[in-house]
Every structure is written in C-alpha cells, then in structure tokens.
Structure 1
Amino acid sequence: MDTSRLLRTSGTFLAFAGLLISGCSSGSGDADTAEFGTSSAGPGSGQRRTGGAGVLRPLPAAVPAALAPYYEQKLRWRRCGADGFECATMKAPLDYDRPGAGEDLELAVSRVKATGPGRRLGSLLVNPGGPGGSAIGYLQNWAGIGYPAPVRARYDMVAVDPRGVAGSEPVGCLSDKDMDSYTQVDQTPDDSGEVKRLVSAYKRFAEGCRDRSGDVLGHVSTVEAARDMDVLRGVLGDKKLSYVGASYGTYLGATYAGLYPGRAGRLVLDGAMDPSLTSLRMNRDQTAGFDTAFTAFAEDCVRRDDCPLGTGSEREAAERLQAFFRKVDADPLPTGERRELGESLATTAVVAAMYDEGSWAQLRNALQAAMDGDGAGLLGLADAYYERDSEGSYANLMFANPAVNCLDLPASFGGPDDVRRELPSFRKASSVFGAGFAWAAMNCTYWPVKPTGAPQRIEAKGADPIVVVGTSRDPATPYVWAQGLAGQLSSASLLTYEGDGHTAYGRGSDCIDTAINTYLLEGKAPEKGKKCQ
C-alpha cells in the first residue's frame, strides 16, 4: 500500500485519478503547524527564503524580460483525441531562476473551444489533482465533455499536464515488474526484518526515480507548476486565469493566486488542501479522514443483508475488516494471476473505494468474494487506484506523486524510530488504517532531492473572489482543510457539501453545481458559509 498524501478526484470522473499524499514535515514531528513569518515563495520564485515557514508572497506583477520569450511563444495546435480536441506543446524553463540559460521543458497542452452560444469568457483551465493526475486525460475524458453545457459554451476548456506528469516530461522510477513488487511490500511491519524490507523498498524506489528522471526531478514543485500556468495564461491571451482545481489541484490553484493575485480570476478550489500544515499533520489528518469515510461505509453496510462485515455495529465491522487484513497478511489470497492479494493490496483496495460512495457496492462484493477465498475483485480496485492497466503497465501517477510531494514539504519522518513514536497518534486517528498510513508517510524519508518548499499560509491579497469547496466527510481532503484554506485566502467564500466522497462539483448536488456554475458564468461567488446537501 502506498496511499500517503494521494489526493484524487472522484472515481465518478476519472476512475480513481487524483492526489497521492506522500509523507512530509520536519523529521522531529513536534509541530503540527508552522510558525509564520514573512518567508518567500520557494523554488523558482526568484525570491530568497528567510528561514522557517511563512506567508507566500506574490511575484512582481511585470513579466521579467528573461521570461518574455516564453510568454510570447505561439502554440501550434493540432487535432488530437476525441472530436473537437486540439493539442500543442508549450515551452517553459526548467529552472525559473535561470530562464533561457539552461534546459527548457516541453509541456503538453490540450483544449476544446467554446461551443457557444453566448459571449466567450476566455479559457477555463482544469486540473484533477494528484499530484500526478493527467490534466489532459481529465479534460478529454470528462471535463471537456461532461462539464455543464452552459460552461462549455462560454469557455475554451484547457488543460496542461504539469511538469513531470503524463505528457509533460514525465518522471519515472521503476519498471512495471518492479512496481508490482513495490505495491505488495508489507506496510504494517510486524518485526525488525519487515521494517528493513520496507526501508529497502523506499530506498530502491527513490534511487530508481533519481536514475530514470534526470534533472527534471528537482524541478517539479507546485510553485514551478503554478508559474507554468501563468505562462500558459499569457500565451492564450487571457488577462486573468479562470480555473477549476480538484483535490491537489486546489493547492496548485491557491499557489497560483498567492503568486499572482492580480491575475487570479474565477478560481474554484474543490476538495481543498491547507498549505499551512506540515506533512506529518496532513498525513494524520488524512488518516482520520479515511476513518470517517470508512465509518460512513460501515454504517451503510451493516444495515444490508449482504454486508460482508456483518450486521452488527460499525465498530464490529471495523474489527472484522482488521481481522481480514491480518488473515491475508499471514496467508495471501489467489487472484487468478501470478500476483496474490496480501494485506498491502487489500488495504489499498478498501482505501480506493472510500473516495466515492458509488464504489461501496463494488467494495462489498469484492470483500465478500475475498472472504470466500477469491482476491480478484479487491486486486482490481487496487489496480485502478495505482493506474495499472490490464497489460500490467503503470501510468506515471505513482512516480510523479512523490516527486512533487517530496519537493513541496520536508519529510514527515527521519526514519523508522520516528514512525514508531507517532504510531499511537495514527492509531488513535484510525484503528483500521492508522499503522499503514503512518509507515506509508515514510516514503519521502530517503528521497534523492532535497525539499524546496515548506508549510506556508496563502493569502492572495487583492485577488478576485475565490470559491473554496469542502465536503463534510471527504476522506482524502478532510473538511477542516477547506476551512483552513478559506480562512487564509483574503477573498475566499467557503461552499460546503454535507455528504460523502471526495470533492463535490459534478457529483449530483444541484445546490453545489448551481453555485459553482453561477460563479463561473457570472462571477458571483456564493454567500460565505453556504451549505448544500
């Protein structure tokens, strides 16, 4: 199981494509939140870090002369994908502190033009999260055809795969065969030998990323991706950026607003992250978030005659699931192929189904089959989470995700002893997932590139109204994060969906969809504190 800090959009939209949270914070684990001063933006910002964490400061409003060639480039569009979609390649500097002096990156861009009728409102950039989710895949498979018709009529729908992701200089780490082995490593070690094997797996993964990715591995931070978005805004000819970001995409969008408050237009941040938190705090919060989601699943399950976790209480259901995990840890299940279903893959499968209540029926069936001796159904859920196809090939999501996370924040833990000290707090957050999530938060500990970011508040003073969306029982981005981000952004309105699942827009709530559509089309943000069911 490698589930730490993976923040993903709902499976309804993209078959589990979205955000992986890999562990980060100072290794001590003593502070849950940062002490704020006046520190700078971080990597590629052109600003100097003054020490500690602080408030993200905006970049100068004028485009520097050295960056002008990037903003003035002309994209050569060509047909691609489904009917109506076009693709192009955009250049961006590998290092924003040395534009034009070093290697340029080629970033993949796609769009579908506004369909009309009505006056065109410009471009609407979309991002599904991750980090590591393909924005172009999200655009072409969902947003460009599934967003409300009035929105698609007035906006050119646009996506850029962030640097290091999918079509944009993708980072790589392991072969498909080695990834199969990596996803099966036991992440709830029972003895020192299993701890050593887990540490070795993290080290091999990190070394593979270093060897396969080259210089780009040190330049895939969120700050740099946000700067790429401003280049794209300029190239497209928009005075301000309009944007819908889900999950990790909210962190990317908020970072953009913090760097360029005067160029932040209509921004929707759905399933919000709180950029002021340490990685340790984020991992522990997310552990509690998945526990909340499991409780909702269990309460629904035990009311049904076909619940594989029994028909008693939620607590009894949790105990039965833990007993099942222990059983497959000791004796993995056959799946109809060479891979067996052990505890790690089984846990990943359950976590995957927590993103969307529409997957609960599939999880019940897969759990029942597994308890009857067939692990194929749970393996299928885990494979969807890892973006492993039927031929055994992995998308680069699982490589790009830690590459971004491990740059953005210092590692949660300095080693196994730190994890052991924090295990009680993680188990308190979730008896079902706590131990696994704690050990998974060690995946940045041995990263080959030093982090360039730090926890920081994002205020974006002077920005147009921004809509922050939070779901009350969101597993991956707990509701408290949306409250935190909305409290930082000077112009934010918090829109709440009281329900289950990860993210809210387009998930069936007319109240949520109407509020967001009105904002995108008319610029009118919902009243602060608005709640929907």
Structure 2
Amino acid sequence: MPKPLTITKPLTITKLLAVTKPLTIVLVLLSAAALNPAPAVAATTGPATLSPSTLKWQPCPNDKIGMDCADLQVPVDWQKPTGRKITLKVGRLKATTGTSKGSVLVAYGGPGGPGISLTQSLSAWWADLRQKQMDLITWDTRGYGSEQFQGLSTGLPCTWTRIPIADFPRDDADFGRLSDANRGYAEACRLKDPELFANMSSADQARDMEAIRKALGEDKLNYYGASYAGFYGQAYARLFPDRVRTMVLDGTWNHSAADWRRELEETAKINDRMMRRFFTWCASNACADVPVLWRALVAQADRTPIPTTTENVAYKARDLQSFAIALARQGAPAWPKLAGAIRKASEGDASDFVPARGGRYPDQATGVTECTDWPRFANRKEMTALISRLRKIAPNTGTANTIAVGTLNCIGWPVPVTNPPAALPKNLPPLLGAGAWGESDAVARVLSQVPGSVTIHHDGPGHTLYGVNTCARDHINRYFTDRTLPEPKTPC
C-alpha cells in the first residue's frame, strides 16, 4: 500500500511556476470558447478611494522588503455577522513613486497559498505596478494559518492525510465504504473547529476580499487571482458585481459554468490534447512507435499494474496517465523522457514514472475548500456514467488529472457544497484573463460570459503568466492602472 499523503498543500513558489499540475489535484484546463469580438478598450479612469484605510499598519513579522501588515477581524460565518470573529493577516507593499492611486488585491491560489510570504519572495514581480503608483495588497486566507501552510491568519488546527484512491468504487458497497472513510478522515479535522471547517469555500474567501476592500476605504476592487484563486475572483464577481473595477484571472479554470458535467468533459479533453501534442512531436522525433505502445500499455495496466523497482510500487492505468499528462504539459524538454518511460514500461518496468522526490503516487489531494466548491457524485450510477463518458472522449488520458477524480475524496464529506458553480452576472465590467496551454481556453470560457472581456494566450507550457511572461505582465499592469484591455485573443 502507498504511504499516506498530505491532502492539501500550500502553493510554494516551485508549485506556482511548475508546468505540471498547478493546483491541489490536477490541472484541468479546458477547451476553447469564442471570445466576444467587441472592442476591448474601456474608459481610463483611475481607482477611486472614498475614505482612509481603517487598517493599522506596522512592519510584517520577519520582514526584509518593507512590507507592512495589519490584522482584520471578520466573521467566521458570514451568515452570522455579529458572531465569532477570526483574524485575517493583510499585507501591503506601497507604491514606490508618487501618491498611491489605489491598490491591487493579489491571491496566489493553492488553495491556501500564503499571500504574505509568497509576495515577500516574489516582490520583484510587482515592481512595475508599484512604480505606476499602485499599492499591492495581499492576505493569508482563512483556515490556512498554520505551520503546514505558513499562513498568519486564523487557521484550522489540524493536518489531515489520505491514502490515494487507487480505483473508482466497483459496486454500491465500495461506494459506501469510500463515503464512510472520507467522512471519518474529515470528521477528525472538522471537530477541531466545526464552524471554521464549514466556512472555507471560495465564496467565504470572496466575502473576506470584500471586507478587505472596505477596510482599505476603496470604492471598488482591483483583483489579481492566480491558479485556484481564480475561483475566489469568480465568487466575488457573483457576490459583488457592482464593486469590481478590474479583475484578472490568470491560469485558472471555469467555476462559472451552467453545465458542470460539460466542464468535467472539457477537463478530460484538454488532457488528451496534451498527449496528442506529444504524439505529434514524436512523429518526427524518432518515437513514432510511442502512441501505439501507450495505448497498449494503458490497456495492460488497466488489467494488471505495471511493476517498478521501487518496493511495493506498481502503477495502474490511471497512475501512468496522470504522470504522463504531467510530463506532456512540460513541453518539448520533457518529451524525450516521457517517450523513454513509455517504452520501458511497455517492457514491464514502469520505474521511470516514479517521481524522483515526494510521493510515489500521483497527487490526488483534495481539501476543505475544494469539497465545498466542487459538486460531488451522489451515487455510483452517476459516477459510472461520467467515467464512461470521460474515457470515451479522452482515450489516451481517461479520467486522470480531472476534478472527477478529485471529487472522490469529497464523497461522504460532512459539509455540503456551499459554493457550487454558477454563471457570472450580466452587469460586470470587462475582465482580463491569461493562461498557457489549456489554461487560456478555460479562462476564455469564463470570460465569454462578460461582454468586452479579453484573454491573453500563451502557446506553450506553463502555469500562470504574470510572473514569467513580460508581455502578459505589461498588458495586465496597463489594465489595472487605466482599464485598457489588449485586443481579443492577444498572444504573448
């Protein structure tokens, strides 16, 4: 049996820049949708500030870059505004030239990425924006304030571990046992702080964002959400559409779909596209035999796990598919390794798929936030129908690295889905998206609901663009400062 894995991990700088699975479980990332062809330039009015900030700023703990911090008290349950309060630690890097014209609120995803420590390590990213007289604001998200997540806000005082779910339940009894196991793991954590456990969805984070906006004294919000923090932005847009000035969704995916089943199908399609891009490369790079070997390998591993030289590690089809997607996403530098691993596994040794560091099995981590954001299977019949559909539309990658797999850990969860996917409202200003392979397609589908919105596309591997793509960063900074958007389908 594999060793238990930590179910939810903070978004480290390595994770943020990784070109493999950028989020807690997968990288989903979906297929294209048409963008609105309307002109993409809006008025150039600056951010408005109504009143002085009510936050009491002082140097952040162990700060070396001039970042200030402040504590903000918010309700643990936003449905009970006069009830118990928790503390959000908010950080600020002030504008470096002139008088501040406003601020941009930044979140790095994860979920649970510690905004303060990440911003301290990534401060160079924001130098140009600060020179344009914008303050940079971030915060450590609720529930993730612990040594495990490096956050400074009120945390959920537990660490939960899970054994990866090797197979989908094969019958109703299996489904029931999975539900009981999930509930047991979750209950051990929930009982530490039931109220906080039940209020850690992306919608709760969005309400915290609104509290930060008010505490800053600003009329409207400028927001940059990377990776999973794009869910926070979409939730904010649904809850407070009249308070959005600018919003950037970078390297995220669609949590605003009317048809969630279709979104899961798009997840599988984009993964299959990753493998087909690799196969196309192989056709002219001395590995034209690999596509046939891969399909035979998957069929074989579906019947009997492929052994490795690592003790007690053998890989089933979905394991191999998950590792292969991760390598395919990295582009041409990783493709020779993937071709070699497939050939070796076809000869009966899957050792080249074993990660050099970390867990020996694909990361299937899902946590408190995800299980309140993602719809889960109600029964085995529903699950089986979707599995069959995903395997049909993605013959090379199946269900691997999809939210459908991630939600297995949420079956039986003691808290319901409190922030289900829903369409964006009609009265939002034009938004800006960005993303690399697959990610830009997903973001474009989100923004297709908002007339005048634009998505920046990068035709290459990667996860999020702002920190590593100067072209995208320039467009994003211009949008934040004067609300000027690039032309539709702008490449970077």
- Calculate the TM-score normalised by the size of structure 2: 0.76
Q: Mapping of 1:39-438 within 5 angstroms?
A: 72-80=54-62, 82-100=64-82, 102-114=83-95, 116-142=96-122, 144-147=123-126, 149-154=127-132, 155-165=134-144, 166=149, 167=151, 168-171=153-156, 175=160, 178-179=161-162, 182-183=163-164, 185-187=165-167, 198-199=178-179, 201-271=181-251, 272-301=253-282, 303-304=284-285, 310-312=287-289, 315-316=291-292, 318-319=294-295, 322=298, 325-326=301-302, 330-335=305-310, 340=313, 342-343=315-316, 346-353=320-327, 356-357=330-331, 360=334, 364=338, 367=341, 371=345, 374=351, 377-378=354-355, 380=357, 386=363, 398=365, 401-411=366-376, 413-436=377-400, 437=402, 438=404
**1:531 partner SS:** coil
Q: 1:503 aligns with which of 459, 464, 477?
A: 464
Contact 1:139 1:158 (8 Å CA) reproduced: no
| TM-aligned CA deviation for residue 330 of structure 1 | 2.6
Q: Distance in 2 between matches of 1:448 and 1:406?
A: 10
Spell out, residue by residue over 1:325-348, the C-alpha distance to the aligned partner (whole angstroms, 9 max, x if none).
558x6354344xx77354465554
**Counterpart of 2:446?**
485
The residue type paired with residue 105 of structure 1 is: I
Give the 3-state SS of the residue equivalent to 2:412 in structure 1.
coil
Residue 423 of structure 2: which of 447, 457, 466 is its match?
457
Query: Could you list the per-position Cα deviations for residues 389-408 of structure 1 after superposition, in whole angstroms to 9, with x for gaps in the alignment?
Result: xxxxxxxxx4xx54223323
TM-score after normalising by structure 1: 0.70
3-state DSSP of counterpart to 1:403: coil
The alignment of Structure 1 onto Structure 2 pairs a total of residues equal to 450
The residue type equivalent to 1:159 in the other structure is T
Higher deviation after alignment, 205-214 or 351-360: 351-360
Paired amino acid for 1:340: V
1:220 is paired with a residue whose SS is coil
In structure 2, the CA distance between the partners of 1:191 and 1:276, relative to structure 1 (3 Å rule), is closer
Task: For residue 454 of structure 1, give the secondary structure of its aligned residue in structure 2.
Answer: coil
Q: What SS class does the counterpart of residue 110 from structure 1 fall into?
A: strand
Report the structure, 1 or 2, having the larger helix content.
1
The residue aligned with 1:514 is 474
Gaps of 5+ in 2: 27-49
Using the TM superposition, give the Cα deviation of residue 245 of structure 1 relative to its aligned residue in structure 2, in angstroms: 1.0
Aligned twin of 2:23: 19
User: For the residues of structure 2 that align with 1:283 and 1:494, how far apart are their CA atoms?
Assistant: 21
CA distance in 1, matches of 2:375, 2:157: 21
One-letter amino acid of the structure 2 residue matched with residue 357 of structure 1: G
Query: Which amino acid letter does the alignment assign opposite residue 246 of structure 2?
Result: R
Three-state SS of the structure 1 residue aligned to 2:138 is strand
Taking only aligned residues, the RMSD between alpha carbons, in angstroms, comes to 4.2
Q: d(CA) in 1 for partners of 2:355 and 2:414?
A: 33
Equivalent AA in structure 2 for residue 443 of structure 1: N
Deviations 1:436-463 (A, max 9, x none): 44454333221101222333221261x4
Q: In the superposition, relative to structure 1, how do residues 453 and 78 fare at CA in structure 2: closer, same or farther (>3 Å)?
A: closer
